[in-house]
Each structure stands twice: as C-alpha cells, then as structure tokens.
Structure 1
Amino acid sequence: MNAELGALKNALDRQREHVLGVLKGLSEEDLRRPVLPSGWSCLALLRHLTLDVERFWFPGVIAGEPDVAGQLVAGAEAHWCVPEGMSSGEVFADYRAAITRADAVLVVAEPAQEPAAWPVEIWPTWRLPDVRHILIHVLTEDACHSGHLDAVRELIDGSTWLGGHPYAG
C-alpha cells in the first residue's frame, strides 16, 4: 500500500477501533435503545457505517462493484435500521466483514486513482475526484460518528472515552 494511503488508513483504523470500543460492554437493550430525539440506536449507527460507509465507498465507489453500489443507493434510508431478527452479534460481525473487504480494496488502490463508479443518482453535481479524497471523506465521517457514539454512551451509563482508552465498567 502506498505510504500516503497507509497513513490515512491507520487513522481510519483508529476511528474504527473507537467505534467498536465505545460500544464494548453495552447490553443488548442499550445497543438497541434510541437515546437521542432523532431516534437512531447504537446498532443502527453501526449498520449505517457498515452499509453506507465501508461497503458503499470502498467496494462500491472505489472498486465499482455493481452489485454493491446499486444495492446501496436503492436502500439508503433503510440502512439506519437493523433488520428484524438480526442479532447484535450479526451486526458487529457484518461491520467487521465490511472492514475486511474495504481493506482489501485499499491494498490495491492508489491515491490519485479515480473512483470506478459514482452514484450520480445521489450526487449528480458533486464528486470526490480520487481515492485520497474518498479516504479523507470516510475518515471524517467515521470520526464524526464515533463522536456521536461517545455522546450516546455517556448518556447511557456515564462512561467516557478519554484519549482512546477503553470504557470503564
């Protein structure tokens, strides 16, 4: 992997770890309970990160896998919901599998490589020009959402993430 992409991926990996760390130790009930007025749960946010971030941007946009990109554009609103009967273990396993697939796409990517596919149905006039910009966009989105999870975790049980240390209790 190119050194520049490697540095960006390392930063992304820290955000991915933060997402998983902030959720560690929460009960099934707390993972599924909406805490904020907008109504999403921790598992719903993890599902969003799985489908709309890891799968969409890496295999979908960068690699241009048509079965991924088309499927994700079609069901974007539903991606904030955990399907009926899907366990929290399955949601976490799906997220980890999506990361593994995303990492496989990045291993063969170059910073200046143009996206193989672009969802013009969603963004007809906006476009990220290359893998470098896509990775920065994803890193920003993950950092933002890990912050959302920090706030929700603190509201649930008072725990806070300080400098990347695991939650107490």
Structure 2
Amino acid sequence: MDDGARSRSLLLGALDAQRQHVLAAVDGLRDAQLRAAVLPSGWSPIGLVRHLTLGGERYWFHTVMAGEPLDYWPADRPELDKGRPADWRVEPLEGTDAVLAEYRDAIARSDEILAALPLDAAPRHREPDWPAERFADLEAVLLHVILDAATHAGHLDAARELIDGRRHLVL
C-alpha cells in the first residue's frame, strides 16, 4: 500500500471509528434521556447528534467538499436555541429516532462523496473569510471533522455517564 492509500485508509478508519463511538454513546437511551441537558451549558445528546449531522457531515462533506447547497441549514430561532447555533436544535415534537436516522443517512452520503474524491481534492465551496491555506483539501477537512467528532464523542461519554452511569472507558 503506498503512502497516499495508507493515509486515506487511516483517515477514513478514524472517521468511521468516531461516528460509531457517537452512535454507541447514545444507543439504548430513551427519548427523554436523549433530550435531557445534563451539563450546565444546556445541550442535549440528541442536539449534539443533530450538530454532527448538519454542522459535521453535511456541511463539511456535502457542502464544502461536494458543493451541494446549504439549503438544509436551519434558520436561527433564539427563543428555542438558547445561545447555541441553530444546527443543535431538535424540535420538541421531532422524533429522536428520526434524528438518528438523519445522522446515519448523512454518513452514507458522506461516504459516497469521500469515495469519489482524492485526498488532495480542493473544496468546491469555501467560506469567504477562510485564509487560502485553511481547509485547502480533503485531507485537511477530514482531519478537522475527525477531531470535531472525537471531541463530541467524549462529550457524549461524559453525558452518558451522568445520565445512567454507563462508561465508555473504564479506568
């Protein structure tokens, strides 16, 4: 395996591991537990999954890398968002199973996009305020998303332990 193929395999493996970690962290939680804010900042586990769907998978892979429109981004609603970005919002009547299915669907579409792009592929959509070297290629975007997903997987681990005592890592 050449270095490029090895790097690609390692990056995609790390991304998939973080995605599976996120899904495992919320597996088995009831609707009320998924919606509960257990930390003072007020986010819920299902809100974090929504963020990983919209602000992670869809934004970085579907929009930035594939150039798909940003028409899925929710409008700000300060009365519901409580200071968080709108991509964390899960409406009160919205089913948590649907939010989890949306995450899985976004992952499947992301995987299609990732399979078609080389690591040196340039983004098709760049934000106007990004410096030229910022997120210059798929490799840089993958690293960013992996780090973000890993950070949030750790947040979910802490929330899960507070909710029902389940630990991801037993020390």
2:100 counterpart of 1:92: yes
Cα displacement string for residues 68-109 of structure 1 (whole angstroms, at most 9, x for unaligned residues): 3x6539659211110242101100000000000111110011
Distance of 1:33 and 1:101 partners within structure 2: 29
Q: Is the 8 A contact 1:35 1:152 kept in 2?
A: yes
The TM-score, its normalising length taken from structure 1, stands at 0.86
Distance of 2:51 and 2:89 partners within structure 1: 8
Q: Is the 8 A contact 2:75 2:86 kept in 1?
A: no
Distance of 1:91 and 1:20 partners within structure 2: 12
Unaligned 5+ residue runs, structure 2? 77-83
When structure 1 is superposed on structure 2, of 81-90 and 38-47 the one drifting more is 81-90
Question: In the alignment, which residue of structure 1 is the partner of 2:79?
Answer: none
When structure 1 is superposed on structure 2, of 70-79 and 1-10 the one drifting more is 70-79
Q: Is the 8 A contact 2:74 2:87 kept in 1?
A: no
How many pairs does the alignment contain? 159
Unaligned 5+ residue runs, structure 1? 164-169
2:162 counterpart of 1:159: no
2:24 counterpart of 1:21: yes
Deviation of 1:113 after TM superposition, in Å, equals: 1.1
Aligned-pair identity (%): 42
2:56 counterpart of 1:53: yes
2:114 counterpart of 1:113: no
Residue identity matched to 2:73: L
Cα displacement string for residues 44-73 of structure 1 (whole angstroms, at most 9, x for unaligned residues): 0000000000000001000111x23x6539
Question: In the alignment, which residue of structure 1 is the partner of 2:73?
Answer: 72
Distance of 1:77 and 1:140 partners within structure 2: 19
Change (3 A) 1:60 1:99: same
2:159 counterpart of 1:133: no
Alignment partner of 1:25: what SS?
coil
Residue identity matched to 2:97: G
Moved over 4 A (4+): 73-76
Change (3 A) 1:101 1:85: same
Change (3 A) 1:142 1:62: same
Distance of 1:152 and 1:98 partners within structure 2: 23
Alignment partner of 1:118: what SS?
coil
